[in-house]
Amino acid sequence: MNDKLFKLLVLGRGFIGNYVEQLCSTHNISCASTTRDGRAGTIKFDLPGLEAPLEEYIRATQALPKAECILVTFPLKGAAAVDKLLESYSHVYNPESTSAVHNEKSNSNSSKLNWILLGTTGVFTKVPSNRNTERDPAKSPERQESEDQLLNVHGGTVLYLSGLWGGARNPEGWMRFFNTEEAVLRRVKDRTLHLIHGEDVARAIVDGVVKKPSFGEKWIISDPECTDMLEIFVKHFNEDQLNILRKVIAMPEARKYVNSDKLEELIVGKEANLQRRLDPDEFWDFYNLKIEHKYRP
């Protein structure tokens, strides 16, 4: 148990956690983060399995410092995982609130702790989707159950992230996955790509939800503008892949997704006027924030 109070605690530093830590350092915001092995100055923390008793969760949680806001970057599997994590943390730092863990969010909010859980926009399959669109129940049902538990019972916040990029992680690097006609055709049929840079996610978290909690709300975090996957193909495929693309756009099943069956005549990018699959505008408007990193193929 650590009596030092942090503004933000990141459970699972990882890709997003690194950006969050850097931004907190820039803003002089106290931030601590965890990894499973405690590397690079992080706190060693490993969430027990779902079958583990609450006492084991409490022992694990005692390694964590006290914080005003807690960001969970990894998936939680089901409602019980959420309950055990939050109840164990409350037991360590706010024992009198432990009995309230299962109360309604209007009375609980886990004693006003600002809990944030990262999710994926992959659960939204309707086009277009905003934060209030019904999720596809077949997509990651355990994650959806945990998200609903955090939102509706504990008054936490869920942030649904789209395609993450930044640093060495960029869409050009994904080209290695498109070496067959089947793989290329699948994306030609689904050209719209929604991206978000790690630094913009960090700003959404630190300059948004940490500073101005939105208890019980869920948000889509994405660049409001979509990217054309076909434009990335045209600009970054090697010659063998371009030959595959030529074959694909000439297929009858690809015709309604492209303007021409000739590679040189393809209209790509903004000129293609693709429909957005995701609408994240409400988040950026609510927090008066703007994207700073635009991906350019």
The CATH architecture one would assign to domain 2-169+195-225+276-287 is: 3-Layer(aba) Sandwich (3.40)
Using pLDDT thresholds of 50, 70 and 90, give the confidence band for residue 22: very high
**Residues 218, 132: Cα–Cα separation, whole Å:** 8
Q: Extract the tokens encoding 108.
A: 């609980």
In this predicted structure, what is the pLDDT of residue 107?
Answer: 45
The rounded distance, in Å, linking the Cα atoms of 136 and 115 is 24
137-164: b (≥16 Cβ within 10 Å) or e: eeebeebbbbbebbbebbbbbbbbbbbb
Burial class (CB in 10 A: 0-12, 13-18, 19+), 113: buried
Looking at 69-219, list the stretches that DSSP marks H as alpha helix, in order from N- to C-terminal side: 79-93, 109-112, 141-152, 181-188, 198-203
Phi and psi dihedrals of 32, rounded to 5? -125, 155
Joined tokens for residue 215: 């208890």
Determine the Cα–Cα distance for residues 10 and 117; give it in Å rounded to an integer: 10
By mean pLDDT, which of 109-113, 190-194, 286-290, 292-296 is the weakest?
Answer: 109-113
DSSP H helices, 27-126, are: 54-61, 79-93, 109-112
Does the pLDDT value for residue 74 go beyond 80?
yes
Q: Contact, 179 vs 112, CB < 8 A?
A: no
CA distance 217 to 211: 15
What is the torsion angle, in degrees rounded to the nearest 10, for the CA atoms of residue 226, residue 231, residue 237 and residue 239? Answer: 170
Q: Specify the pLDDT at position 160.
A: 99
- What is the rounded average pLDDT for all residues in the chain? 94
Q: What are the structural domain ranges in the chain?
A: 2-169+195-225+276-287
Coil, strand or helix at 12: coil
For the chain, what is the radius of gyration of the CA atoms?
21
Task: Give pLDDT, residue 94.
Answer: 76
pLDDT at 3: 74
C-alpha span between 92 and 69 (Å, rounded): 15
Kindly report the number of other CB atoms within 10 A of residue 245's CB atom.
Answer: 23
Measuring CA to CA, which residue among 194, 220, 219 is closest to residue 274? 194
pLDDT of residue 236: 98
Query: pLDDT tens-digit profile of 76-123?
Result: 999 999 999 999 999 999 765 544 444 444 444 444 799 999 999 999
